[in-house]
Each structure stands twice: as structure tokens, then as C-alpha cells.
Amino acid sequence: MSRADSSRPVLLAATSISYILVILDSSIVNVALPSIGASIGVSITGLQWIVNAYLVIFASFLLSGGSFCDRFGARRIYMLGLSLFVGASLVCGVATSIYMLLLGRVLQGYGAALLVPSSLALIIHAYEDATERSRAIATWASWGGLAMVLGPLTGGLFIKLFGWRSIFLVNVPIGLAGIGLTLRLAQADVRNRERRIDFIGQITANVAAVSLIASLIEGPVLGWTSLPILCGGAIFAVSAVTFALVETHHPQPMLPFALFRNRNFSAIAYMFFVGTLAFFGVLFVLSFYFQEVRHFSALQTGLALFPLSCCVVLGNKITARLVSRFTPRTLMLLGESLKIPRFCGLLLVRSYSDYTYLIVPLCLIGLGGGLAAPMYTSLFMSSVGQAFTGIASGVSRATGQVGSAVGVALFGALIADRLKFIDRMTMAILIVVALTASIVLTIRFIVRDVHVMAYRRAETPVPGARKWST
């Protein structure tokens, strides 16, 4: 075994640690908001932005993080992102005012935007074999799923024992452990020294993403026709059009549109967006169903959704075992096909439905998502060459983050009328069924497995495209 091969477990452990931290901070802070408000005197709006500041910056700068990976090297950007995340966590843990805490959360979000695409790029560079790479991505994703499941429960325990500051300070030793593991990696960093930074593309992409996601988050609160939301929409439209024009004419664009000529790249980008929109939209609707219709407490709602989250992790684990026996496309079809009848099962849910009726649909929805998602990432990343793994990983995460924000905004507006909640919930589920069916059709008729792509090189002549061999 070569030194590079022997360092793969270390790399997978390091990248998994960073992914755990990123996912934890997406959910764990929610349970600490009452304690934070009482401790440093924060309004409801301020508490909302303690959560949203992280999410907006994280989602908005993923493309930039991916671009930096390709230019400066995934390992360098990973170390920078993890160091920034650790330092920002320390700022949050010792914050004495809302402004200091918001600064820490913004820096955490930017660190996470560097971490996620660079950790995924490191995995792609380390695992050249398609089966081993898919298994590694499934393992990496399962740790993120586990963090999502345990985040609120772990946060509640830490707050009870050590106070709200502990949920930030615990990131420091964990992050330092990740830095120590990364320093042990043997493989050389992959970077494109000749590639220039597309500053205008970076700025316009970030402005477009920030304005879109912030508007989607605040739209249900301020009203979709309010002046701030209309201004946000206008800023998004102008910056998005400017970004497209810049990228079309720039000699070295941050996001080469030629990548979208590859059928897998384009199709799976669509699936990332639609899949997360549907999944998080349903999660949002079910959360309101349990609390507004069934009158569950927040803890009871979390426990009611626990089977779904656990089955996402279980699906990731099963995929890691099955990937050597089945093609990624087969696992994607299986996962998405599992969801459709179970989503249809939710159409029968009424205000008086017993919770036990929901357990099987929730489990199969989670299992289907867990089976399919790692294979999305594996095939998507396989559609580009090493020179573009950073930006590809940024695109994969950014489309997912925007999809989840759109899903929450769309379904939040749909179920706003509490008197017609069940009817509106039925409408939301029908939309999700249609979206999931579109994913199944996309997989069936557009997506190709790696071994099929070996015979279709002529249709994917994109910059840096991998040259697959049989």
C-alpha cells in the first residue's frame, strides 16, 4: 500500500470531522436561542439572524469556496476554512453582545463555505477508483446525517450541563483535531496555478446569492410585497444577469458554463436543487403539522421526525455497502422510487391520523434520500476533471442550499392559512410527488453511469472532463 493510500482513512476522518461541525452549526443553535436571548438581551429578530447569518453566508459563498479550491488547492483552502471556523466558534463562545455573536456567526458561515467544497474535493482527489470514491462519499455524507440527527439533542444536553456558550466552544478542540489530522496527509495538493481569480464573477455571484437567500428567508416574515423583499429581488435579478454576462465573456470564468454541456453535470445539478427543495419543504410542512395541528411540543416534534433522520443515515450506510454491487444510477433510481409511494401515503394524513401511521412513510422517505444522495454527488463530481472539482463541489452544495431555502419559502407561503392547513398540506405533497417523479425520469432518461460515459466521450467535451477508460 502506498503512503497516499494509507493516508486515505486519515483524510476521510478529517473531512468527516469538518462536515460534522458544519451540519451541527446549521441546527444546534436553534435550541440555544432562548438561553442566548436571556443571557445577552437579544430581540426575536436578533435571535432569528443568529441562525440566518450563518445560513446566508454559508450558502452564498459556496461557489467562491469551490473556485478557491481549484486555484489555490483544496488542502490549503480546507486548512484555512477549518482554522477560520475554529476561530469564529471561539468568538461566538465568548461573545458579550449581539454584534459580537453575529460577527462570529458570519465568520463561521464563511469558514463553512470554504470547508464543504474543499473537503469534498480532497475526497475526490484521494479516491480515483469510482467505487471507492462513491463509498467514501457515502461515509462522509452519513457523518453529516448523524450530526443532523443528533444536533438538537446534543445541543440540549450541552446547554443544560454547561450553558449555551458550550455549543460553540466545543467546536474548538474538535476543529483542532481536524487540523492535526489534515497535517498528517501525504498526498500533494492539486491546484491550477495558471488560473486567475474571476473577481467580478465572485462579487456578482455572492451578491446574487445573498440577496436571493436573504429574501427567501425574510419573505414570509416581512411580506413578499414589502419594500425590502422587492429590493432584494431586484438586486438578485440585476446581479444574476451581470454574473451570467461576465461568465460568458471572461477568459477564465469562476463557473465555466461549458461544464453544463455534460449531461450528468446539468441533470444532477437540477436534481440537487429539486431534491432538496422537496425534502426540506416536506420537512417544514410536517414540522408545522405536528405542532399546529397535532399540538406537539418542539421536543415531541423532533422525536416524531427522528425516524426520518435516522433512516437518512441508514440509507447512507447501505449505499456504502451496495455501491460495489450496483451502479450509482441504479441506487439513485431505487432511492427516488422509494420516495414516491411514501409521499403519496402522506396524502391520506388528516388532523386525526394516528402517528404510527406515519412511521413507515417517514422511514422510507428518509431511506430513499439516504440511498440516492451520495450517488448524486459521486456521479456529479465524476463528470468533471480534477481542475474543476472545487467549483463542482461548490455548485453541488450551493444548489442544494438554495433548493432548501426555496422549499421552505414556497411551502411556508402555501400553508400560511391555518384554517385550510390539511388542504394546503395535500397540495404541497402533490407538488413534491411531481418533483420527485421528474427526478426519476431525469435519472432514467438523461443520467448515465460512469462505465456508459466511457463510450460517450464525444458528448462531454467540457474543460477538464475526465477521460474514463473501460
How would you classify residue 42: left for phi > 0, otherwise alpha for psi between -120 and 50, otherwise beta? beta
Average pLDDT of the segment spanning 336-362: 82
* Pairwise CA distance, residues 393 & 114, whole Å: 11
pLDDT for residue 194: 62
* Pairwise CA distance, residues 149 & 130, whole Å: 28
All three cell numbers of 6: 494509507
* Range 420-429 burial, b when 16+ CB lie within 10 A, else e: ebeebbbebb
3-state SS string for 362-425: HHHHHHHHHHHHHHHHHHHHHCCCHHHHHHHHHHHHHHHHHHHHHHHHHHHHHCCCHHHHHHHH
* Pairwise CA distance, residues 207 & 94, whole Å: 30
Average pLDDT, the chain: 82
User: By CB neighbour count within 10 A (0-12 exposed, 13-18 middle, 19+ buried), where does 386 fall?
Assistant: middle
* Pairwise CA distance, residues 256 & 67, whole Å: 11
pTM here is 0.81
Percent of the chain whose pLDDT exceeds 70 = 90
What are the tens digits of pLDDT across the range 210-236?
898 888 878 877 888 899 999 999 999
All three cell numbers of 439: 427526478
* 144 pLDDT more than 50: yes
pLDDT for residue 202: 84
pLDDT band at 66 (very low <50, low <70, confident <90, very high): confident
Contact criterion met (CB below 8 Å) for 139 and 320: yes
What are the tens digits of pLDDT across the range 284-324?
888 788 877 888 876 677 778 888 888 888 988 898 888 88
Residue 300 vs residues 63, 305, 424: alpha-carbon distances, Å: 37, 9, 23
* Pairwise CA distance, residues 282 & 286, whole Å: 6
